[in-house]
Structure 1
Amino acid sequence: MTDATVRVAGPDDAADIAAIQVRTWRVAYAETLGQETVDALDEAALADEWTRAVDHPASTVYVAREGATTVGFCAAGPAPADDTAAADGSPPADAAEVALIATVLVEPRWGRRGHGGRLFGSAATDLRSMGLTRGVTWVSQSDSAALSFFRGIGWNPDGTVRTLDTGQQTVRELRLTGGLDVRFDH
């Protein structure tokens, strides 16, 4: 394997991030989200959204690279209240210390090379430096790869679920939570 790195994304990375999202979702999530939904993904529109995400002051987007190729990305930051609240809407006691890992996505053809771990590890290191101690993420209950990744680092479902409607499918997501003290080589 050539050099594998992780760095904070800049606006120039938005097109690569969008392309990875489209390719990965079309391969890995067509059944979950519905074929029409993934076929309708607009790479240019997603690149615009990722440009805004990269520039957003409350979150950080990271990119994983293998050699000169961007192969994955992660978006993380302090968790919004809606992502940490109990079913009744009440905040957890540690709400001010909770991060949201909005996504860790590695293009399947670059999988199993440690990129996801390096992305998560970089995000966790930065989040800990902000005083955050615990994280949450949302994963489709049918996404065995993501569930396996997060369980492998000690994150587990906390019993909270949400349902998303793609217009073609209903997706049930589990909220997973765990510590940010997980360390990976990066």
Structure 2
Amino acid sequence: MALFREPADVSVRPAVPGDEDAVTRIQVSAWRAVHEAALGDGVVDALDTAAMRDRWADAIASPPGPGFAVLVALDGPRIVGFAAVAPGQVLALEVDPDHQRAGHGSRLLSAAVDRLRQGGADEVVTWVLDDDAARERFLSSAGLGPDGTERTLATGVRDVVERRWSALL
């Protein structure tokens, strides 16, 4: 007898008040797993998570304007990833390290691009921290590529470089 397994209950929805705790937790754990070496020793540990949570709560409850949104990826009832968008831009996209490579990032990016299109965008841009090869592969597989623009950010420990990736919609 063959066993039939129900498909996983996975989805993306707009974030709602109360989701800020999960979004903050995911952002910190993803940064720790992926960016800690690039950002510098102690940078992730020094994050003011209460202030981060408050900023996410504000962004979710009172977006700063049209075209701004926070989306969350669900695996069953659990929030396992998030994306934040602004007009024409994916500001953030993170998936809990324990839930990566399960399609959540692709679902989030697709939902984010749909939101950008609804807002009238004809291009999507996002930023990639230097040495994030996994994110570069992910974005490349989705049709984005580096456009030659970069910026330098100060972490308090060292300066880090981000490169802009973009695609026409």
Q: Same fold (TM over 0.5)?
A: yes
Amino acid at match of 2:78: T
- Equivalent position SS for 1:22: helix
2:75 equivalent among 57, 66, 82: 66
**Paired residues for 1:4-83 under 5 Å:** 4-54=10-60, 55-56=62-63, 57-58=65-66, 59-78=68-87
Once superposed, which parts of structure 1, at least 4 consecutive aligned residues long, lie more than 6 Å away? none
- Equivalent position SS for 2:18: helix
Q: Which runs of 5+ in 1 are unaligned?
A: 79-98, 181-186
The offset of 1:68, in angstroms, is 1.3
Match of 2:4 in 1: none
Question: In structure 2, what is the Cα distance between the partners aligned to 1:179 and 1:11?
Answer: 32
Contact kept in structure 1, 2:129 and 2:161, CA below 8 Å? yes
Contact kept in structure 2, 1:73 and 1:104, CA below 8 Å? yes
The Cα RMSD (Å) is: 1.2
The offset of 1:173, in angstroms, is 0.6
Question: In structure 2, what is the Cα distance between the partners aligned to 1:23 and 1:126?
Answer: 26
- Equivalent position SS for 1:37: coil
Q: TM-score, normalised by structure 1?
A: 0.82
2:94 equivalent among 101, 105, 126: 105
Bigger fraction of residues in helix: 1
Identity percentage of aligned residues? 41
The offset of 1:146, in angstroms, is 1.1
Question: In structure 2, what is the Cα distance between the partners aligned to 1:145 and 1:108?
Answer: 12
Question: In structure 1, what is the Cα distance between the partners aligned to 2:145 and 2:130?
Answer: 12
- Equivalent position SS for 1:36: coil
Asked if 1:127 is matched to 2:116, the reply is yes
Amino acid at match of 2:9: D
Q: TM-score, normalised by structure 2?
A: 0.90
The offset of 1:9, in angstroms, is 0.4
Contact kept in structure 1, 2:38 and 2:130, CA below 8 Å? no
Match of 1:138 in 2: 127
The offset of 1:167, in angstroms, is 0.8
The offset of 1:108, in angstroms, is 1.3
